[in-house]
Amino acid sequence: MSHFNRRSVLKGGATLGALSATGLLDFAKAWAQSLPYKPEANATINLLRWKRFVEAEDAQFLKIVEAFTKATGVKVNVSNESFDDIQPKASVAANTGTGPDMVWGLHSLPHLFPDKCLDVTDLADYLGKKHGGWVPAAVATGTSKGKWIAIPVAFNGGYINYRVAAVQKAGFKGVPGDTAGFLELCKALQKNNTPAGFALGHASGDGNGWIHWLLWSHGAYLIDKNEKVIINSPETIAALEYGKKLYETFIPGTASWNDSSNNKAFLAGELYLTANGISIYAAAKAQGMKAIADDMDHAAWPVGPVGKPQELQLCFPMLTFKFTKAPNACKAFTAFLLEADNYNPWLEAAAGYLTQPLNAFDNNPVWTKDPKNTVFRDAGKRTLPASGIGPVTEKAAAAISDFIVVDMVANYCTGREDAKGAVAIAERQAKRLFR
């Protein structure tokens, strides 16, 4: 894949200017002289993160890592795992007290083991004051019992990716903004052999994302604000019925899809509408797939019967384990990553795949220089936390990692269970968690 040639820096809304690798190192050295956390002597950080979906994002991230190491002397070893492997490996580390010092995970991962996470309240306060404050979903995801247990580094906005020509051939000017019109579009796409398809397998990002939208847009939730299980409701049945009608228009095989399956099918010309981050579009542009990139666009999630946007966007919290021998170095690295001189070029390199959790970065040019990126800009502001209308707790985090609602929808759509049976299974699983 190609990399962006221009690296820009946003400083308090000022005009952006190029920042070379040398400039990044110079900034890092100056920053290290007054950094808010003094790293431990001879510190090393082992960081586990998800495998990149946009190559330029990963390249820019590693430049930040390199500059941090040269400026502070702290070595940062970065290892990568797939979305679906992050949680099991992080849980093993939490339970054994050995493994990576830091984990850059998904959704509400830190809440699976909040007592094993380093208290980073001071760091969160420092970053919030410096960068315009946190969006509400970031606060909900980063905090537990009044303290911060992780720093939400970014969100990944997951929206409708579609082929413009196929939608127009189906008789629509764009993706309808309501669920009824959206279903009619998917039916027309299927009729024209240009089908839609959303992941119904254990896809941590895409599967959880669209299925929570499906439920929430119909007013259905797993738990209420008091953590009472409320999944067995007329609203859930209505969501399932709508979901099955959508599923009947899908390309075959979605019940086994993981987080990379729809990317591959879309770029192969087999899929014409899906739920995903901007990575499909970024890959098409970077790989010279001009016909697909030019014919692509993105749309926000349709509004359902509840009458307002109800979205689950993928939060990427970065946690530090208490067992680390270098807590100050870990805090320093996180603070350095979110400095404007680093974070803005990184957002640009991510090409819209990553979205800011701090308000100061709303004006990054990545959101306006290509109109197809703009819908992703406000993902962090539009999303509910992974727990929906309930509190983000260890139990809510387990519900996400156990795919309770994903399996409920898959069980009904694929015919393994009728609606009442699928709901009953989910209710039993949830009540075991929230008892």
Q: What are phi and psi of 248, to 5 degrees?
A: -65, -15
Question: Once rounded to an integer, what is the mean pLDDT over residues 180-209?
Answer: 96
> What span, in angstroms and rounded, lies between the C-alpha atoms of 283 and 382?
25
Question: Once rounded to an integer, what is the mean pLDDT over residues 354-374?
Answer: 95
Question: Once rounded to an integer, what is the mean pLDDT over residues 336-344?
Answer: 95
Q: Is residue 3 part of a domain?
A: no
Question: Once rounded to an integer, what is the mean pLDDT over residues 298-310?
Answer: 96
Q: In the chain, how many domains are there? A: 2
Q: Are residues 238 and 177 in the same domain?
A: yes
Q: Are residues 418 and 275 in the same domain?
A: yes
Q: Are residues 256 and 237 in the same domain?
A: yes
Residue 84: predicted pLDDT:
84
Q: Are residues 174 and 274 in the same domain?
A: yes
Residue 32: predicted pLDDT:
82
Task: Write the CB contacts of 50 (distance below 8 Å, at least 6 apart in sequence).
Answer: 80, 81, 82, 83, 86, 104, 105, 106, 316
Which of 281, 433, 332, 377 is closest to 127 using CA atoms? 332
Classified as helix, coil or strand, 385 is: coil
Residue-wise pLDDT tens digits, 80-99: 998 889 999 999 999 999 99
Question: Once rounded to an integer, what is the mean pLDDT over residues 248-272?
Answer: 96
Q: Is residue 420 part of a domain?
A: yes
Q: Is residue 387 part of a domain?
A: no
Q: Is residue 390 part of a domain?
A: no
Give the predicted TM-score (pTM) of the model: 0.85
Q: Are residues 318 and 339 in the same domain?
A: yes
Parallel, antiparallel, or unpaired: how do β-strands 75-81 and 102-104 relate?
Answer: unpaired
Q: What are phi and psi of 173, to 5 degrees?
A: -75, -30
- Return the residue matching tokens 């956390």: 37
Q: Is residue 221 part of a domain?
A: yes
Question: Once rounded to an integer, what is the mean pLDDT over residues 36-65?
Answer: 93
Q: Backbone dihedral region of 99: left (phi > 0), alpha (psi from -120 to 50 degrees) or beta?
A: left
> What span, in angstroms and rounded, lies between the C-alpha atoms of 289 and 281?
9
Report residue 335's pLDDT band, with 50, 70 and 90 as the boundaries: very high
Residue-wise pLDDT tens digits, 368-421: 999 999 999 999 999 999 999 999 998 998 999 899 999 999 999 999 999 999
Residue 10: predicted pLDDT:
29
Q: Is residue 251 part of a domain?
A: yes
Task: Write the CB contacts of 235 (distance below 8 Å, at least 6 apart in sequence).
Answer: 215, 218, 219, 220
Q: Annotate 97-109 with b (16+ C-beta within 10 A) or e (fewer).
A: eebbbbbbbbbbb
Q: Are residues 74 and 204 in the same domain?
A: no
Identify the CATH number of the domain in which residue 415 sits. 3.40.190.10
Q: Are residues 169 and 263 in the same domain?
A: yes
Q: Are residues 261 and 406 in the same domain?
A: yes
- Return the residue matching tokens 């009472």: 228
Q: Are residues 152 and 247 in the same domain?
A: no
Q: Are residues 339 and 374 in the same domain?
A: yes
Print the domain residue range for 330. Answer: 8-156+314-382
Report residue 14's pLDDT band, with 50, 70 and 90 as the boundaries: very low
Q: Is residue 392 part of a domain?
A: no
> What span, in angstroms and rounded, lies between the C-alpha atoms of 151 and 170?
44
Residue-wise pLDDT tens digits, 345-356: 999 999 999 999
Q: Are residues 289 and 344 in the same domain?
A: no
Q: Are residues 96 and 181 in the same domain?
A: no
Q: Annotate 277-300 with b (16+ C-beta within 10 A) or e (fewer).
A: bbbbbbbbbbeebeebbebbbbbb
Query: Does the pLDDT at position 24 exceed 90?
Result: no
Residue 3: predicted pLDDT:
31
Residue 24 in tokens: 């990044």
Residue 53: predicted pLDDT:
84
DSSP 236-271: HHHHHHHHHHHHTTBPTTGGG--TTHHHHHHHTTS-
Task: Write the CB contacts of 68 (distance below 8 Å, at least 6 apart in sequence).
Answer: 28, 74, 76, 332, 333, 336, 337
Residue 77: predicted pLDDT:
98
Report residue 20's pLDDT band, with 50, 70 and 90 as the boundaries: low
Question: Once rounded to an integer, what is the mean pLDDT over residues 294-305?
Answer: 97
